[in-house]
Structure 1
Amino acid sequence: MADVTITEGDLLRAALAKAGRQAFLAGEGGMSYLILAVAPTGQDSEQRAYGGPHLLMYAGEQADRPAAEHREPWSAHLHGAYGDYVATVFDGSPVPLDAAADAELCATKVLAWLGKHLGDVTSRPEHA
């Protein structure tokens, strides 16, 4: 069996998936991040996520870093359909957290923001 390394992005994707939201690993200029379509209908592909308002979520510069190397907190930023920055949704934990706890916190904040601003009715993780 191949050695499987769980990444920071894997943890956040799993936390969002608990609420039925799908994020995609993407990258540009040597950075990697997760992208999440704001509208639930844009969740079927990375390209569709970019086609409308979306959240870009960063753990420093590498969302595909092994979770064991987690050093920088997750943050989430709203971008418009043309990629323009709109607002910061979550600016990261003020205290250091391990990779799993940080991913859960970011997912909780993102899901709460979606619920508050968009009337998103997707189910929430138990801790939300």
Structure 2
Amino acid sequence: MQLNPPASALRTTGALPASLKSPQVRAAIAVLTEADRPLAVFNEHHECIEAGAYLDPRARSGEVVMDYLVQDAAEPGAAIDYKALRETREDLLLDWAGLFWAAGWGVQEYREGCPNDVERLTRIILTPPGVRAEGRYPLAAALAAAEIAGPSEGDKLCAALRAYGVPAFLQRYAGASHVLVAVDRTDDLADADAGLRLVISSDEYADRAATAHDEPWSVQLYTPADDFEGQVFRAPEGLTPVEESAVTAWAVARWLDKEGPVLLARHPRPATVPA
């Protein structure tokens, strides 16, 4: 007589059964397990019975999508505090992203806006070290530039950005400081300050000593009318100031290539009238 396996034997952690065949998913699970981070647990019906990280492979690109899943509601219609859930998901994903950066993975944030709430991080796209495509922006170049720059945290970030041909300016205003990047790479400081720009800050300061850096870089987009358009990147936790500068510069350079032309067409610079 053939006995049915116990339900516990049919459970999977971190991914659904078919996804566990993916080497990159298994590698991602290993990173999280080594750091003692929670993994989502699924029963034989593919229902999430324990909250944690969920990994889903992208077969063609070799990437892995990482999300945070909560336990499926035991009762249909059970009340869920979605705002609190989004906040928890964002905090956990940022923590997990730092683990993967430290392990040499490529990390890309995916954010979504929600009604009556700010835009929040909802997923992380992971690229294993062996298949990461850095293209025209090798991370080593930004790391080397940031390593020898200083003394401030902003100096290191500016050096990393310039290694990719991105003009960057350390700007101080009303006791605060930040790094300014023009969406139009031909802009000087004056044009950058008045035009479509990225403001990169760390707890309102960018001119502290690099050793005092304790808040991840946040990259925010502003229009020429000083309207805040949203956060386009936030560096993951757990990196050194040099690593964080390089990672932020890499993300900004790629973002400018992709989004810059579209935004500049949407916000054309007023024509100058000859004197």
Shift of 1:119: 5.1
TM (norm. structure 2) is 0.39
Is residue 2:232 matched to residue 1:89? yes
- Tell me, in whole angstroms, the C-alpha distance in 2 between the residues paired with 1:81 and 1:17: 23
- Contact 2:150–2:156 (CA under 8 A) maintained in structure 1: no
Superposed counterparts of 1:5-16, under 5 Å: 6-16=151-161
Q: Show the counterpart of 1:24.
A: 169
Higher helix fraction (1 or 2): 2
Give structure 1 regions of 4+ aligned residues with deviation exceeding 6 angstroms: none
- Tell me, in whole angstroms, the C-alpha distance in 1 between the residues paired with 2:220 and 2:166: 16
**1:77 alignment partner AA:** Q
TM (norm. structure 1) is 0.81
**Count of residues in correspondence between the two structures:** 114
Superposed counterparts of 1:32-51, under 5 Å: 32-42=177-187, 44=188, 46-51=189-194
- Contact 1:33–1:58 (CA under 8 A) maintained in structure 2: yes
- Tell me, in whole angstroms, the C-alpha distance in 2 between the residues paired with 1:30 and 1:7: 16
- Tell me, in whole angstroms, the C-alpha distance in 1 between the residues paired with 2:194 and 2:261: 20
Q: Mind listing any 5+ residue stretches in structure 2 that lack a counterpart?
A: 1-148, 263-275
- With over 3 angstroms needed to count, the CA separation of the structure-2 counterparts of 1:112 and 1:69, relative to structure 1, is same
- Higher relative CO (Cα under 8 Å, sequence separation at least 6) belongs to 1
Match of 2:259 among 98, 109, 117: 117
- Tell me, in whole angstroms, the C-alpha distance in 2 between the residues paired with 1:62 and 1:86: 21
Q: Mind listing any 5+ residue stretches in structure 1 that lack a counterpart?
A: 121-128
- The alignment-based identity, stated in percent, is 35
Q: Show the counterpart of 1:106.
A: 248
- Which secondary structure state, in structure 1, belongs to the residue aligned with residue 253 of structure 2? helix
- Tell me, in whole angstroms, the C-alpha distance in 2 between the residues paired with 1:13 and 1:86: 22
Match of 1:67 among 170, 188, 210: 210
For the aligned residue pairs, the C-alpha RMSD in angstroms reads: 1.8
Shift of 1:118: 2.5
**2:259 alignment partner AA:** H
- Contact 1:8–1:59 (CA under 8 A) maintained in structure 2: no
- Tell me, in whole angstroms, the C-alpha distance in 2 between the residues paired with 1:70 and 1:8: 7
- Contact 1:50–1:83 (CA under 8 A) maintained in structure 2: no
- Rg: which structure is higher? 2
- Which secondary structure state, in structure 2, belongs to the residue aligned with residue 41 of structure 1? coil
